Amino acid sequence: MSINSFGHLFRVTTWGESHGPAIGATVDGCPPGVPVTEKVLQHWLDKRKPGQNKYTTQRREADAVRILSGTFEGVTTGTPVQLMIENTDQRSKDYSDIRDKFRPGHADITYFRKYGIRDYRGGGRSSARETASRVAAGGLAREAIKAIVPDLQITGYMVQMGPHTIDRDRFDWDQIERNPFWVPDANAAIKWADYLDSLRKSGSSVGAVIEVTARNVPAGLGAPVYGKLDTDLAAAMMSINAVKGVEIGEGMSAAMLTGELNADEIRMGPGGPEFSSNHAGGVLGGISTGQDVVVRFAVKPTSSILTPRKTITRTGEETEIITKGRHDPCVGIRAVPVGEAMMACVLLDHLLLHRGQVGGNRGVIG
Amino acid sequence: MSINSFGHLFRVTTWGESHGPAIGATVDGCPPGVPVTEKVLQHWLDKRKPGQNKYTTQRREADAVRILSGTFEGVTTGTPVQLMIENTDQRSKDYSDIRDKFRPGHADITYFRKYGIRDYRGGGRSSARETASRVAAGGLAREAIKAIVPDLQITGYMVQMGPHTIDRDRFDWDQIERNPFWVPDANAAIKWADYLDSLRKSGSSVGAVIEVTARNVPAGLGAPVYGKLDTDLAAAMMSINAVKGVEIGEGMSAAMLTGELNADEIRMGPGGPEFSSNHAGGVLGGISTGQDVVVRFAVKPTSSILTPRKTITRTGEETEIITKGRHDPCVGIRAVPVGEAMMACVLLDHLLLHRGQVGGNRGVIG
Amino acid sequence: MSINSFGHLFRVTTWGESHGPAIGATVDGCPPGVPVTEKVLQHWLDKRKPGQNKYTTQRREADAVRILSGTFEGVTTGTPVQLMIENTDQRSKDYSDIRDKFRPGHADITYFRKYGIRDYRGGGRSSARETASRVAAGGLAREAIKAIVPDLQITGYMVQMGPHTIDRDRFDWDQIERNPFWVPDANAAIKWADYLDSLRKSGSSVGAVIEVTARNVPAGLGAPVYGKLDTDLAAAMMSINAVKGVEIGEGMSAAMLTGELNADEIRMGPGGPEFSSNHAGGVLGGISTGQDVVVRFAVKPTSSILTPRKTITRTGEETEIITKGRHDPCVGIRAVPVGEAMMACVLLDHLLLHRGQVGGNRGVIG
Amino acid sequence: MSINSFGHLFRVTTWGESHGPAIGATVDGCPPGVPVTEKVLQHWLDKRKPGQNKYTTQRREADAVRILSGTFEGVTTGTPVQLMIENTDQRSKDYSDIRDKFRPGHADITYFRKYGIRDYRGGGRSSARETASRVAAGGLAREAIKAIVPDLQITGYMVQMGPHTIDRDRFDWDQIERNPFWVPDANAAIKWADYLDSLRKSGSSVGAVIEVTARNVPAGLGAPVYGKLDTDLAAAMMSINAVKGVEIGEGMSAAMLTGELNADEIRMGPGGPEFSSNHAGGVLGGISTGQDVVVRFAVKPTSSILTPRKTITRTGEETEIITKGRHDPCVGIRAVPVGEAMMACVLLDHLLLHRGQVGGNRGVIG
């Protein structure tokens, strides 16, 4: 069986294949009264859209989103919002050579073994194209969040590409929008451009680490112990194509800390409790502390490369394959708006769950 | 709201607080016809049980599990299985000093802000004691798996404690059961013992990385795109107390690989497709490949330490706290059987989901 | 919050408003390998389609269904199937007079009080137009059932219209398709035509009872105790617009029986256990017996009538309303294919749940 | 697979068999801050408890409920509430004669065919004993409702026993608690006593209709279109053992009404919209109107009777069976508090869902 929905109350079901007529997201549980237009959603889709510079796939999709239901006179009504994006540049002929071969590192072989049938055109359902639906849903989530917590801000950016990491001392929020890598370090942006250019020319690819930070998140979000905020974020990020690791706050490095270093001390600030540090990444016991919520995820290099790789055919014969076509040397770049979208969906979902909290927030501190 | 259940078809709900009368797991969706006894489940609980050596908390719990429903004449009937563990060593007096103070790094402050009320005795619901319920449910999952895929094997072990990692060249499955750290490297076990001993004496603590490997997992498990096998594993592991990062296969290091290195090549073996390497950790596109499924997670150091830390009281006054009591210098040790239990629950769940797959597995390769 | 999905494994989410651009059903969990085309689904939509005779609303919709995802080369792939029906005859001008008035018996006032906003055009989301999406999904469910249990047959028909009931002694399956009321009694069809004609002319309306029978349903379907087969059927039918009562087998009349009359005796037949009668309606303890599954539901008269009714405006002033427009004197007629569709969805869902049953069916009788 | 949970946010999982060590309810999603004690819950269990008069089974159970988790100092904490009832009077020897025979009208044969194994002692999981767990959970739901809508009142009562109905003109709320049948008509109570006495003596049984009314239900509850308030009530009631039909408001009789009679007219009252009648049973479009919510359900006669009935054995041989033991001539009596409990659970669930409604209730009328 397949499970194509996520979320508890803000529930997103994505549908569609890379080379079918359309893809989209069926969003149930969006609160009523949220102003939303196709134009507002389009902004986020454009951010993810391929073919914008030489570092991303040259597939050209208009990626124009249509709202087919759930709004009336520009405002959500509380009924399901259907967001549809028609596929315009399908070029299915490009994929005829992979019809009977399984591309290493791709989901070709696993879909085939699971379902006994697969839409081989561009990866079908397993294509990263599916993430456009997430970005559309995430755009809607952002508008709903805005109506509930106006100053909550979600920002994604790259912190590592291949062996190259950013210099945290140079971290500058304003740089993120000024380079094609969404990197918050101007120096890194320059170096990475050269690095990626040479990778692209050699037909190779490389992985990346994306960080998404949410600022001004209210304390109290999270549904322990199996709908913890960090649990849901881990699931959300790991569900993105090519992601192999997820970290909250200190992440894997938490293993190297002692208890003294790790425990963020608490003090009283003007608006309530504050913390001396944020090793926790804004989550304790699965519930938000009021600090920045910080999540990172690693994206593996795209498996579509020009170097021949050994594989087998559908009938079990050994062969080789080169994946031509239009591909990204670093899919991590386009994963940035996708990570933001997932953060938006998870946070809205928990805002709605917490709104339903009867009797909560009674014990206000201070 | 809280969400205390996980799983799609094999659905586990844990309940209970550290110092209440009992804790347990309500397991719905266990297949009928699985032989299971309290003794079999007790084996796994004993593995996790505290107080077994000087490296784990000296709290002494019998941790005796009782099966209250769902079996008949030693076999599951398909109805809910209630697994109850009574709390015997509660010593709630130990915790009176934290009644009005929030321990840094603990969930005290977030539970209070969320619910406006908290059971402060030993962390209440946020205590790692909750994981005993998971281990009981995981024991049941193991028995059910055995009935479906007899040779499937799940093994957890530590690969890092603080700054010390294992030597992969010395990896020996047989060492795991021979030392108190479940470490597959005899040399590491000796060094870690000294290291942890000094930490314990100084009242400090340290983090760890646990790896759980499942061998002989059938290809085809996973429910893309939001119930992917790796998505569910990420959620399962991140939901464990103190976990801050989860990796599948290459994990965060995937960011540093090129496409050539990362894509596991495919060849034909005697029993079907085989792979030249396992950077994927046994999962492609969210579906198992038939290789070993490999997941790692980082556990932060316990926040209960003897060094005073700054904090605030329930009424917002600044103060300091020392967390005395019975605690683990490295909670990672006891997280090993918990990680195994979560792997067992997730794999059984996906075995059941895949069993429901009509028409699947038709396209057998070769 | 709204909940626009139903089903456990075969999960249908309907979306869309009466006068928006389109309506549809997002179907997740359809098994792979099921042959399905738009033409096959269109057959069922045409059965429900309005404007076919003088007894149903004169709204003219092409009701052409498009499959936007989830199939490849005419066969389902196991990924979500998106079924879209564009709204072509919207005439939203007809509804301007109800913009500020609540029609008695309609959901106008409750949607407004719940959401604080409503799409007043034709009832918006609460319009019976939503049931076209159900019929499309039900058509897909029928094809999947056919692949699993080829001889399973689902048939809906009217057994009561206003005060007029069928004569069970004249019950004839073959009559059902031969009259505009789907009534299995030729005499009744004639009488009902006259009766409904006069109702229509007077601008009045009347209720009805629909019965749906599923034949050749395997024994063992149902997920006690809260996903019982009859529980899910009750929910499915009660969720249809205007339904006020649901009965399984003997239904409300079971109250009048003694234990001797009610308990269907068991004997051995050539193919397994058989029953001397079917008061149970094919379900015992929430699980199918192998007998015909029989469900009935009552549909209230459409509330859109030409007689003025007292009501209030959005601002609370008392007024009167006449609901003109294109409406059905007996919406029960068009509820017949909807009831069939819900039966198909529920049965497929339970076939899939039961397929996942490991160890089940071991105790074959006889 | 089995599904032993119901509810969206207030989620109840019942567990346990008639003759196992205990039964109970795991309740997740109960709001924090609700005062609740075992004594309060016991009140409702005592109402349902068997053996209280000659009209109900002579099985004697203490039915003492214990709260094992989720409360602290007499108040819920927002964590799962475990309610356990130990089975004290099991007498499993009584049931040895039905070990190999299937009782007609009971779930013996269907459980066996589904699971291939069954706990034959007293019906195991399919015993009406499971409803004690529901009553415990319903008691908790009542307390939580009280904290949210203090004047909401839920009252169940019998309106029909066999052929005997109440006289609606004699309806008196105060009579309900004064007779063993919970009947709101003093005359009926007298007649029914004689009728049931003779049934009991002859070893026969009879069905009943129970009505449950909730007064002072806020407008706006219900989650269209598949979590409608009436949909969830239909599922809740149909899931009770032996229920064969469910009606909302006018119920099956709605089929006989014309549109003029059926549509409840609307006027302005002092506190908001009012209705001239309540054919709707308090629900329009699946959302509460603010009127009384009225649901009725029919319970079939218990199938355990002293007249021999034809049946088969586990190995398929034809035989006869008499069900001795301790049974109710009219199980409908004990279904009254169960119906109330289900109403309480459904209403609380929808109160919580609606609390999460952001932006709702903006369009206040008048």
What is the pLDDT at residue D328?
Answer: 80
Q: What is the pLDDT of residue A205?
A: 94
B146 labelled binding-site residue: no
Q: Which chains touch C (3 or more CB pairs under 8 A)?
A: A, B, D
The pLDDT, as a whole number, for residue C326 is 58
Neighbours of chain D (3+ CB pairs under 8 A): A, B, C
Identity at A158, one-letter amino acid code: M
pLDDT at A324 over 60: yes
Whether residue C204 lies within 8 A of chain D, CB to CB, comes out as: yes
Express as a percent the part of chain B with pLDDT over 90.
Answer: 81
CB contact under 8 A, D118 and B23: no
Residues B32, C360: C-beta atoms closer than 8 Å:
yes
The helices-and-strands tally (H runs, E runs) of chain A is 7, 18
With pLDDT > 70 as the criterion, what percentage of chain B qualifies?
Answer: 91
Q: Are strands B283-284 and C65-67 parallel, antiparallel or unpaired?
A: unpaired
Report the alpha-carbon distance of residue B299 to residue A259 in Å, rounded: 11
Q: How many whole angstroms separate alpha carbon A359 and alpha carbon D22? A: 32
Query: Is C207's Cβ below 8 Å from some Cβ in B?
Result: no
- Cβ–Cβ < 8 Å for D345, D7: yes
| B296-300, B308-312, B362-366: least confident range | B362-366
Contact D356 A358 (CB under 8 A): no
What does the pLDDT read at residue D354? 92
Task: Work out the minimum CA distance from A216 to partner chain B, whole angstroms.
Answer: 16
pLDDT tens-digit profile of D44-62?
A: 999 887 666 667 665 667 8
- Quote the pLDDT of residue D366: 45
Token look-up 């009644």 returns B99
Q: State the pLDDT at residue C91.
A: 58
Do the annotations mark residue B96 as ligand-binding? Answer: no
Q: Is the pTM value of this prediction over 0.90?
A: yes
For chain D, percent of residues with pLDDT exceeding 70 = 91
> What pLDDT score does A300 carry?
97
ipTM score: 0.96
pLDDT at A59: 62
**What is the structure's pLDDT at B175?**
97
Taking only residues 45 to 74 of chain B, the set having a beta carbon closer than 8 angstroms to any beta carbon of chain A reads: none
pLDDT (mean) for A2-8: 97
For residue A361, pLDDT over 60 is answered with: no
Instruction: Name the more confident of B49 and A306.
Output: A306
* Phi and psi torsions of C115, nearest 5°: -100, -15
pLDDT of residue D358: 46
Distance from CA of A82 to the nearest CA of C (A): 7
- Residues A232-266: tens digit of each pLDDT: 999 999 999 999 999 999 999 999 999 999 989 99
* pLDDT in the model for residue C122: 87
Could you tell me which chains touch chain B, where touching means 3 or more CB pairs under 8 A? A, C, D
What average pLDDT does this structure show over D298-304?
A: 92
pLDDT, mean of residues C267-290: 96
- CA C86 – CA C95 distance, rounded (Å): 19
Within 10 Å of residue B147's Cβ, how many Cβ atoms?
16
pLDDT score of A113: 93
* Cross-chain residue pair D352–A352, CB shorter than 8 Å: no
Helix or strand or coil: residue C267?
Answer: strand
Q: Please answer yes or no on whether B354 and A244 come within 8 Å at the CB atom.
A: no
Structure confidence at residue A131 (pLDDT): 97
pLDDT at A132 over 90: yes
- Position D237 confidence tier, pLDDT thresholds 50, 70, 90: very high
Does residue C272 surpass a pLDDT of 80? yes
% residues pLDDT > 70 (chain C): 91
Mean pLDDT across A325-352:
92
A258 Cβ under 8 Å from any chain B Cβ: yes
pLDDT value at residue B64? 95
For chain A, which chains pass the contact test of at least 3 CB pairs under 8 Å? B, C, D
Given this model, what pLDDT does residue C189 score?
Answer: 96
Q: Tell me, what's the pLDDT at A57? A: 63
B127 appears as a binding residue in the annotation: yes
Residue A128 has, within 13 A of its CA and on its CB side, a CA count of 30
Cα angle, residue B33 at apex, residues B28 and B39 outer, rounded to 5°: 80
Instruction: Check whether A245 is labelled as a binding-site residue.
Output: no
Across-strand partners of A14?
A25
Tell me the C-alpha distance between C154 and C13, whole Å: 22
**A362 confidence band (pLDDT: 50, 70, 90):** very low
pLDDT at D48: 82
Q: What are A220's two structure tokens?
A: 């109290």
Q: Which residues of D touch A356 (CB under 8 A)?
A: 9, 352-353, 355-356
Per the prediction, chain D carries an average pLDDT of 92
Helices (H) then strands (E): counts for chain C: 7, 18
Say whether C49 counts as a known binding-site residue. no
Q: What is the DSSP string of D105-173?
A: TSSHHHHHHHHS----GGGGGGSTTHHHHHHHHHHHHHHHHHHHSTT-EEEEEEEEETTEE--GGG--G
Instruction: Output Rg (C-alpha) for chain D, integer angstroms.
Output: 21
With b for 16 or more beta-carbon neighbours within 10 A and e for fewer, the D291-308 pattern comes to bbbbbbbbbbbbbbbeee
pLDDT at C17: 97
Distance from C210 to chain D by nearest Cα, in Å?
10
| Euclidean distance between CA atoms A141 and D287, whole angstroms | 25
D71-98: pLDDT as tens digits = 999 999 999 999 999 998 665 566 777 8
Kindly tell me if the per-residue pLDDT of C92 is higher than 60: no
Does residue C325 carry a pLDDT above 70?
A: no
pLDDT of residue C196: 93
pLDDT, tens digit, 9 for 90 and up, residues D247-275 = 999 999 999 999 999 989 999 999 899 99
Size of interface A-C (CB pairs under 8 A): 152
Query: Is the pLDDT assigned to residue B365 strictly greater than 90?
Result: no
> How far apart are alpha carbons D365 and D362 in whole angstroms?
9
- Cβ of C122 under 8 Å from any chain D Cβ? no
Write the pLDDT tens digit of every residue in D160-203.
Answer: 999 999 999 999 999 999 999 999 999 999 999 999 999 989 99
Task: Report yes or no: D15 at the B interface, CB cutoff 8 Å.
Answer: yes
Residues of D with CB below 8 A from A32's CB?
A: 357-360
Residues D119-148: tens digit of each pLDDT: 999 899 999 999 999 999 999 999 999 999
Q: Could you give the percent of chain C with pLDDT greater than 90?
A: 81
Per-residue pLDDT at D122: 87
Chain D's closest residue to A144, CA to CA, is D358
* Contact state of C32 with B148 under an 8 Å Cβ cutoff: no
* The pLDDT value given to residue A56: 67
Count Cβ atoms within 10 A of the Cβ of residue A253 and give its class: 0-12 exposed, 13-18 middle, 19 or more buried: middle
In the predicted model, what is the mean pLDDT of residues C156-182? 97
Residue A301 φ/ψ, nearest 5 degrees: -65, 145
Q: What is the mean pLDDT of chain B?
A: 92
Q: What is the pLDDT of residues B134-188, one digit of tens each?
A: 999 999 999 999 999 999 999 999 999 999 999 999 999 999 999 999 999 999 9
List, for residues B314-355, the tens digit of each pLDDT value: 999 999 998 776 568 999 999 999 999 999 999 999 999 998
Give the pair of three-digit tokens for residue D73. Answer: 């100092």
B201 CB-near residues (< 8 Å, 6+ apart)? none
Binding-site residues of D for NADP(+), in ranges, read 48, 54
Helix (H) or strand (E) holding B359: none
Residue D361 has pLDDT above 50, yes or no: no
Give residue B364's pLDDT band: very low, low, confident or very high (50, 70, 90): very low
C359: closest CA of chain B, how far (Å): 6
What is the distance in angstroms between the Cα of D175 and the nearest Cα belonging to chain A? 35
Query: In this complex, is the C-beta atom of D198 within 8 Å of any C-beta atom belonging to chain C?
Result: no
Amino acid at B135: V
Chain B nearest-CA residue for D120: B72
pLDDT at C50: 65
Please provide residue D25's backbone torsions phi and psi, each rounded to the nearest 5 degrees: -135, 130
Tens-place pLDDT, residues C32-62: 999 999 999 999 999 887 666 677 665 667 8
Contact: C117, A77; criterion CB under 8 Å: yes
pLDDT number for residue B323: 78
| CB within 8 Å: D69 and B15 | yes
Poorest-pLDDT segment among B92-106, B269-283, D141-155: B92-106
Tell me if C24 sits within 8 A of C14, measured CB to CB: yes
Measured in angstroms, the CA of D298 and the nearest CA of chain C are apart by: 5
